[in-house]
Structure 1
Amino acid sequence: MNKFGHLETLPHGPFRFIALDVETAGKSAGGICQIGLCFADAAGHLQTYSILVDPEEPFAPFNTELHGISSDTVAGAGNFPTVYMALYDILNTHSLIQHSTFDEKALTAACARYDLPMVTSHWTNSVTIARQAWPELKGAGGHGLANLKKHLGLTFHHHDAGEDARASASVILKAEKVLGKPLSHLTVNRQLTFQFENPTSK
């Protein structure tokens, strides 16, 4: 049971997009110890899921201090191939959100480490979207989740993968309201993207 009440089984879709965040055990980008997902449906409702991962490598004290996950925490958890392949289909059929590009890089590194296929989903960086929506934050704390938390009044526990994924999803939804339009590439089913485009839209 996770301490923030996240789902422990995957919800049923389809979803408009999935925000993804990972925590890592040490300096190795592929040493993932937690995966968090936030599922956004067409109405903007969010559901958060998180799962611990045995990184099969030592934990660095700095990382454990940051996210609170240690070798004891992940005792009995599945390794990356077990966890990732159970998530592969749902991740590979939805547009994905990440805050910065660290999460995609970590997944790529972990897939390379275990010789697994990387998802081919479209990734959107919520930092980039936040810069468009709130340009005034440049030089005033920036567009990291900690500063956006203060500026937007978000409620989440930073450095928990599920919580950070939910924050990234919230940033996207709030940015769309500020920008006055939905992000066109975030559709319910990415394989039908071009069918959803409105030829009269600007």
Structure 2
Amino acid sequence: MNRFRHLQTIPDGPFRFIAIDVETANKSNASICQIGLCFVNVRNQLQTFSTLVNPEGPFDPFNTQIHGITSDMVTQAPNFADAYGALYAVLEDNHLARHSRFDERAFEAACARYEMSMVTSHWTNSVQVARKAWPEFKGAGGHGLAHLKKVLGLEFHHHDAGEDARASATVILLAEERMRAPLPHLKVERQLTFQFN
């Protein structure tokens, strides 16, 4: 499933930060069935990546109704261990962002399930960033992606992991514009590995 033309390989850095979103197959946070990443480079240009993940477990009809992913769609997809293993280095070497704690908790749960180390990167919550930039939304629709999409004029397909990751990154960039300053911790400082031909 790649309706939104997300990249299938990791783009070249360096990156200011990477926004992350996941979709899950059922009520278990560990049942990740899609990982979406939005890479924000030093010029604040966005590139999205998405991969389906085989959760090696059942799909609840409720979850499928939300994101449209079915068990048939993930039969050839990597399981979390393989997908996460392929992404680990770039996630470990960059600042990460997510909209609410759900996505980070899902990674923690899936890492525990597969007995893998959780990345130690710094996580930024774009909900908290939005609260600082637009305090007037408190009690007036809130700071969820659905409301921010409406009031900020964001264009994305909600509940596709790549699209939601892009929305989270965009919220941070728009908040920086509104506050007239970049978030000081979202800067290129951790990528110290270079490849030479």
TM-score normalised by the chain length of structure 1: 0.93
CA distance in 2, matches of 1:55, 1:47: 25
CA distance in 2, matches of 1:43, 1:7: 19
Q: Give 1:150 deviation, angstroms.
A: 0.6
Give the length in aligned residue pairs: 192
TM-score normalised by the chain length of structure 2: 0.96
Where 2:15 maps in the other structure, the secondary structure is coil
Partner of 1:159: 159
| Structure 1 runs not aligned, ≥5 long | 193-202
- CA displacement 1:142-171 (0-9 Å, x = unmatched): 000000001110000000000000000000
Partner of 2:89: 89
Written as runs of structure 1 = structure 2, the 5 A alignment for 1:82-121 is: 82-121=82-121
Q: Give 1:191 deviation, angstroms.
A: 6.4
Conserved? CA contact 2:21–2:164, under 8 Å? yes
Residue type matched to 2:74 in 1? V
CA distance in 2, matches of 1:132, 1:190: 26
Q: Give 1:190 deviation, angstroms.
A: 3.3
Partner of 2:188: 188
| Structure 2 runs not aligned, ≥5 long | 193-197
Partner of 1:126: 126
Where 1:118 maps in the other structure, the secondary structure is coil
Conserved? CA contact 2:14–2:191, under 8 Å? no
Conserved? CA contact 1:37–1:166, under 8 Å? yes
Q: Give 1:189 deviation, angstroms.
A: 2.7
Q: Give 1:188 deviation, angstroms.
A: 1.3
CA distance in 2, matches of 1:85, 1:107: 12
CA distance in 2, matches of 1:135, 1:187: 25
- CA displacement 1:13-41 (0-9 Å, x = unmatched): 11000000000000100110000000001
CA distance in 2, matches of 1:165, 1:92: 17
CA distance in 2, matches of 1:171, 1:96: 14
Partner of 2:148: 148
Partner of 2:174: 174
Q: Indicate yes or no: 2:63 matched with 1:67.
A: no
Conserved? CA contact 1:15–1:42, under 8 Å? yes
CA distance in 2, matches of 1:84, 1:167: 22
Query: Superposition RMSD on alpha carbons, in Å?
Result: 1.0
CA distance in 1, matches of 2:116, 2:14: 24
Residue type matched to 2:42 in 1? A
CA distance in 1, matches of 2:191, 2:140: 39
Q: Give 1:180 deviation, angstroms.
A: 1.1
Partner of 1:80: 80
Where 1:73 maps in the other structure, the secondary structure is helix
Partner of 2:195: none
Regions of 4+ moved over 3 Å: none
Conserved? CA contact 1:98–1:124, under 8 Å? yes
Partner of 1:31: 31
CA distance in 2, matches of 1:69, 1:191: 34
Residue type matched to 2:128 in 1? T
Residue type matched to 1:23 in 2? E
CA distance in 2, matches of 1:15, 1:191: 8
